[in-house]
Amino acid sequence: MAGDTGIFVAGLVLLYLAIFLIFGVALRSRSALPLSRRQPDAPAQKSVLSRMTDHAVGALNRGIKKRGPGLLSRDRLDECGLKKDPGDYLLIAGIMTLTFAVVGFFLGGLFAAVSATLLTPLALHLLLNMLAGRRRAQFDQQVPDTVQMFSGGLRAGHSLLRAMDAAAQESQPPMSEELSRIVNETRIGRDLGESLMDLASRTRSEDFLSISQAIEIHREVGGDLAEVLDHLSDTVRDRNQLRGQVRALSAEGRMSAIVLMALPIVMFIGLTLFNDMYSRVFTSTLPGYLMIAAAAVLLTAGGFWLSRIVKPKF
């Protein structure tokens, strides 16, 4: 009994610590004016917790740089449109994992805590994939209008870089952010072709890759680049229209895949919450753990198979 009380107290302390770190450190508002602007002569002061957080984030960033590219690298965050350093998001992920683990322990015991510890990083990884996919889709939708602005700027007598700068000012994110990055990189000495190829690789856009190749060929052999871009713009518009038709026709298959994947998980959670007698075998015995592991493997394989079926190539 004393051991259970000690575990309860320790879990409660960890829960309050996690909540404080999330709302007091990770999600703290940055909208207020810094002290250096409100009181220019005042020396910069940081609290002990802020210094500890800065040291932790710095250590995480150095560790990520030494380890090399991974699931949470600078390039990966650029694909998602996230501006902070990888260490900031790694710290937030750790705090969220700790919070859900403690909450799971109070709600369902040790099994729920372990499940929350394993599922939280997976959910955050899926969230990054969703953000990256949404940003790529928005970028692909903006490519035709952007190419049209390129050709219009060239016909008006501007250089290609000036036309890109104008398109960056007139476009919406993420296109404006990516074009501004190209202009800034070119101004500090990077080759324009390399910046364009890097953008096509970062956004995984086949349409922009063909545009980059056309611009690079024009720089080598010359010709009427505005006319080439007009033809490419029409081709990209047709591809986007075909892509939208394919998504509309495959919408039923995607919804069926989501329902088939979510139904076993939702039913298991519902049985656990409303009548734990049904799920006690799975959460308290070795055969139950083995069956849950087998179900997770089968669900993963089925989800991958369904994702390949409802994602046609064209």
Q: pLDDT per residue over 33-72, tens digit each?
A: 555 565 555 555 566 556 666 666 666 667 666 665 566 7
76-134 pLDDT, tens digit each: 888 888 887 777 888 888 888 888 888 888 777 777 788 888 888 888 888 888 898 89
| Shared domain check, 211 and 156 | yes
Its domain, for residue 285, covers: 250-314
Same domain, 185 and 239: yes
Domain boundary among 191, 214, 244: 244
Check whether residue 199 and residue 218 sit in a common domain.
yes
Final residue in a domain of this structure, among 228, 244, 260: 244
Within a domain: residue 127?
no
Residues 229 and 262 in one domain: no
Q: Structural domain tally of the chain?
A: 3
Question: Do residues 168 and 235 both lie within one domain?
Answer: yes
DSSP string covering 189-221: T--HHHHHHHHHHHHT-HHHHHHHHHHHHHHHH
User: H or E element: which one contains 139?
Assistant: helix 110-155
Q: Does one domain contain both 259 and 312?
A: yes
Residue with tokens 């959670």: 269
Task: Answer yes or no: is 132 within a domain.
Answer: no
Residues 176, 235, single domain; the answer is: yes
Residue 142 has what pLDDT? 92
Is 94 among the domain residues?
yes
Q: Is position 121 within any domain?
A: no
Confidence (pTM): 0.70
Domain boundary pick from 244, 261, 280? 244
What is the length of the chain? 314
159 and 87 in a common domain? no
Residue 296 belongs to a domain: yes
**Position 123 in a domain:** no
Q: Are 109 and 98 in contact (CB under 8 A)?
A: no
Residues 154, 239 within the same domain? yes
Residue from 79, 74, 76, 71 nearest 139 by CA:
79
Burial class for 292, CB neighbours closer than 10 Å (0-12, 13-18, 19+): middle
Band the pLDDT of 182: cuts 50, 70, 90. Answer: very high
The CATH number assigned to the domain holding 184 equals 1.20.81.30
Positive or negative CA dihedral for 121, 122, 125, 127?
negative
Q: Is residue 91 part of a domain?
A: yes
Examine the domain organization and report whether 212 and 240 are in the same domain: yes
Residues 237, 254 share a domain: no
Write the pLDDT tens digit of every residue in 128-175: 888 988 999 899 889 999 999 999 988 888 888 899 999 989 888 889
CA separation for the pair 163, 235 (Å, rounded) = 21
Q: Would 45 be classed as within a structural domain?
A: no
